[in-house]
Amino acid sequence: PRIPLGVIASIRGDYAKTASLAQQVLLISHSNGEIWHEMDSYYLFTRAAVLQGDFETAQRYAQKTYQLAKQNQEHWFMAYCLNELGNIATALGDYAPARGHFQASYQIREEFDDPEGMAVALNHLGNVTLIELDSQGAGEYFQQSRKIYQKINDQGGLAASFNGLARVALAQGDLSEARQCFLAALQISNEIQ
C-alpha cells in the first residue's frame, strides 16, 4: 500500500511523505529483490522532486526508473517515465530532448492501442511546441488530443486540450477563439469539479 499512498501524498502536495514512502518501498524492494517495486520507488522519488522544482534530482531518478523499466522490458511503464523525462527536459529548457521523449511515449502508447496515453503525449507535445513558438504545430497536437479525449469521454483530458487550444489562439492573436476555448475548459472543469 505504500506505493499508492505515495502517489496520493504527491497529489496532496506532501512531498516529504512521498519521499519517505518511496524510501520505505526502496528498502523493502532491495531486501526482497523486487525490481518492480524498485521502479515504483524511483518513480515516486521523481514525482516528489518534480513537484518541488528540483529538476536535476528528478532527472536522475527518472533516468534510473526508465533504465530499470527498459532492462525489464516494461514498455507500459517506460511510457510514464518518458513523459516525466519530457516534462523535466521542458522545465530545464531542453526542448529537443523533451520532444523526443514525448514522441517515444506516444509511439509506445500507440503500440498498446492506448488512446488516453496517446492523448496525454499529444498534449505534452503541444505544450513544448507552443513554448518553441510554433503555434500552428502546437494547435495540431492539441486538436488531435481533443478528438481522442472526446471519443473516449475523458473530461479532464478534454479540459486540458481546450486549455492548450486557448493558449494557441492567444499566441495567434485570436482573442475570440481563446475566450471560447478557455470557457470550454473552465466549464468542463467545473462540471467534474
- The pLDDT, as a whole number, for residue 19 is 87
Which residue in 26, 50, 27 sits closest to 39, CA to CA?
26
Which residue in 185, 73, 66, 77 sits closest to 123, CA to CA?
185
Confidence of residue 32 (pLDDT cuts 50, 70, 90): confident
Residue 182 has pLDDT above 90, yes or no: yes
pLDDT digits (tens, 9 = 90+) for 142-175: 999 999 999 999 999 999 999 999 999 999 999 9
The grid coordinates listed for 97 are 530532448
The grid coordinates listed for 125 are 507535445
- The pLDDT, as a whole number, for residue 35 is 78
The grid coordinates listed for 86 are 519530457
Residue with cell 478528438: 147
Residue 108 has pLDDT above 90, yes or no: yes
